[in-house]
Chain A
Amino acid sequence: MLTYVLRRLLMLLPVLLGVTFLTFAIARATPGDPARLMLGVHATPERIAELREHMGLSDPLLVQYVRYVWGAAHGDLGKSFRGQTPVMQEILDRFPSTLELTVAAMLTAIVGGILLGVIAATAKRKAVDGAAMATALLGISIPNFWLAIILIIIFGINLKWVSVTGGQGLRDLVLPSFCLALGPLATVARLTRSCILEVVREDYVRTAWAKGLRDWAVTTRHVLRNALIPVVTVIGLQFASLLGGTVFIESVFARPGIGRFAVNAILMRDYPQIQGTVLFVATIYVLVNLGVDLLYAFLDPRIRYG
């Protein structure tokens, strides 16, 4: 187990190097001079040359890359073009809002998805199963940003239950996290259902029934425990779509998180901000997936990693 953890940690290195390479390339692949972008159109050539020198833009690309990675490894993501503030600080200021949103959405997706899947799989009547799976299909197909707009029109504008312009209270978290959660919730529900349908055919479930256990006991203690193992992996993967979804949802609800921050950075062509957010989010994603894989090994003792 320890070797497995160590190996997985070592595997993070090439991945993170790849990500830094990509983020470094973003700024270099774009036409235009970062120094000119920073100073605006009216800057004199001397001033631009001076800034280029100051920013180290005249050094060989490799030197610049190594300097960038070295800085990033120490939490230095450079300064933003717009505010001249450290990008790391700007990201950390906005991260709590995004974290709150994704955690709320994740919990909704897990609880709701497993519940819906169990209902569908154990339904005695076919209509219930059908209805649950139809809900899941709609959940996967509905664009979350459109759902958000519809809910704002209904609950924000017509019923006036929530504020329309990005409130920060607990009540203002309900709609965004629901919209964000719906897609992953539906995916979890579909997978839970099919895993349960597979597990109920196992011998140990038949034994449990034969012992005369009640429905509820068989479902939770014998079926769910085994059926949920693959679901854990998918939950880890769904985290990616949640993070991606914040880009849209935070824009709709005007939440000051890193999703909206990234969009604005791209619109403003503020490269240090773009690079910083991509690197930051990618790192979190990689770490979360590592956590999920380790959890997986813990949940299923049959899995032994060499």
Chain B
Amino acid sequence: MVLKPDQLELIQDGEEEFGWRKARTESQWRIAWRMLRRNPMAMFGLIGLGVLVLAAIVAPLIAPYDPTAMDYESLLRSPCPAHLLGTDDLGRDILSRVLWGGRESLRVGLIGITIAMVGGTLIGLVSGYYGGLVDSVIMRITDVWLAFPAILLVLSIVAALGPNLGTVLVALSISAMPWFGRFVRGSVLAARNFEYITAAEVVGATDARIMFHHVLPNVLAPIVIYASLGLGNAIMITAGMSYIGLGAQPPSPEWGAMLNYGRNYLREAWWMSVFPGLAIFLAVVCVNLFGDGLRDALDPKLRV
């Protein structure tokens, strides 16, 4: 018997007095969200990250100055009421630059991890679902892919395509993809033997339908956990690549690029190095707090 959503509602309403009945019809995501809300650290991370992303989005509205406007009247000012985080050697306002910089640093990390997640999930689904030769070939390729440090792969790709933020994004996605692929494949193999998959095959569902409607929802939780834990690292690598001069190029206010720029002024202007780095640190702490909370909420077994 197939129940339509409104019929489900009826059953829930009718049996309201049996609290357990209602709880059982709740989706995994609703339960996870309730657990997450009760976890103050995770909520701190989520809200903090939300504030940072929001600040980056509305940076053009809230930044007190133009991030690239030079002001020769106020070079290397220490933090003061007019420039809350000080100015750099060209008189540019650090606060405005940090606000604008979030657009680059956070965007590259978020997009990079999303591409890696989608690509890796597709690889893992195909590999795990079809098995056999397809699986062997894909897994041998990821073996090689994973056999050496991610940062080397990132450096190699940046070396081949030229140092800029776009290549860092491509490099990040490509280097993180096999991790997702591996992970998803394992989950798919486990899910493949469930009876509802056999049932779907028996009624003649297409491969694509089984993969996306039946297998994917079951492996989504670990993928999301993995992505949230990988995001912090992605943000850090983006900033790091810019810091060593292989990512965003001046005059971009990307956080790592600002750190790179500030290292010539460590003696005269500590604020040029401290605040952009603090922004990276805060972003990564928030992502990690949220990721830890999400993991505990969605899958207590994965607890590290």
Please list the residues of chain A having a beta carbon within 8 angstroms of any beta carbon in chain B. Answer: 14-15, 18-19, 22-23, 25-27, 29-30, 137-138, 140-143, 145-146, 149-150, 152-153, 157, 164, 190-191, 194, 240-241, 243-244, 247-248, 251-252, 262-263, 265-267, 269, 271, 274, 278, 281-282, 285-286
Contacts and interface: CB of A to CB of B under 8 A. Distances in A.
B244 A251 contact: yes
B285 A262 contact: no
Nearest to B229: A140
Contacts of B140: 14
B143 A247 contact: no
Interface string B265-296: 01100100110011011001100110010000
A15 B239 contact: no
A45 to B, nearest CB: 25
B120 interface: no
For A137, A141, A243, A263, which residue has the most chain B Cβ atoms within 10 angstroms?
A141
Interface string B228-261: 0000100010011001111000000000000100
Interface in B135-177: 140, 143-145, 147-153, 155-156, 158-163
B304 interface: yes
B155 A278 contact: yes
A285 B280 contact: no
A78 to B, nearest CB: 15
B160 A18 contact: no
Contacts of B4: none
Nearest to A270: B159
Contacts of B160: 25-27, 29-30
A194 B304 contact: yes
B155 A266 contact: yes
Contact of A278 (B150, B152, B232, B292): B152
B24 interface: no
A271 B159 CA distance: 8
- Which of B147, B161, B245: most chain A CB closer than 10 A? B147
A262 B259 contact: no
A243 B280 contact: no
A250 B143 CA distance: 29
A131 to B, nearest CB: 14
Contact of B288 (A14, A15, A137, A285): A137
B21 interface: no
A252 B284 CA distance: 20
17 contacts: A14-B140, A18-B144, A30-B160, A30-B161, A137-B292, A138-B285, A150-B273, A150-B277, A190-B304, A247-B151, A248-B243, A251-B243, A262-B155, A267-B163, A285-B148, A285-B149, A285-B152
Interface string B59-95: 0000000000000000000000000000000000000
Interface string B197-233: 0000000000000000000000000000000000010
B38 interface: no
Interface of B is mostly: helix
Given A137-B288, A263-B245, A18 B155 contact: no
Contacts of A281: 148-149, 152
A195 to B, nearest CB: 9
A192 to B, nearest CB: 11
B30 interface: no
B144 A15 contact: yes
B22 interface: no
A280 B48 CA distance: 41
A274 B154 CA distance: 12
A196 to B, nearest CB: 13
Contacts of B151: 240-241, 243-244, 247
B34 interface: no
Contacts of B304: 190-191, 194
Contacts of A194: 303-304
Contacts of B273: 146, 149-150, 153
B266 A153 contact: yes
A232 to B, nearest CB: 16
Nearest to A273: B159
Contacts of B149: 240-241, 243-244, 281-282, 285
A145 B246 contact: no
Contacts of B303: 194
A143 B277 contact: yes
A142 B262 CA distance: 18
Contacts of B163: 266-267
Contact of B147 (A19, A30, A241, A267): A19
B263 A146 contact: no
B156 A23 contact: yes
B147 A18 contact: yes
A138 B152 CA distance: 25
Given A15-B143, A149-B263, A194-B303, A240 B150 contact: yes
A243 B262 CA distance: 25
A142 B145 CA distance: 27
Contacts of B232: 140-141
Contact of B240 (A143, A152, A240): A143
B284 A267 contact: no
Contacts of B162: 30
A137 B289 contact: yes
Closest 8 CB pairs of A and B: A244-B151, A18-B144, A146-B277, A240-B149, A282-B148, A15-B147, A141-B285, A141-B284
A31 to B, nearest CB: 9
B144 A274 contact: no
Interface in B75-127: none
Nearest to B144: A18
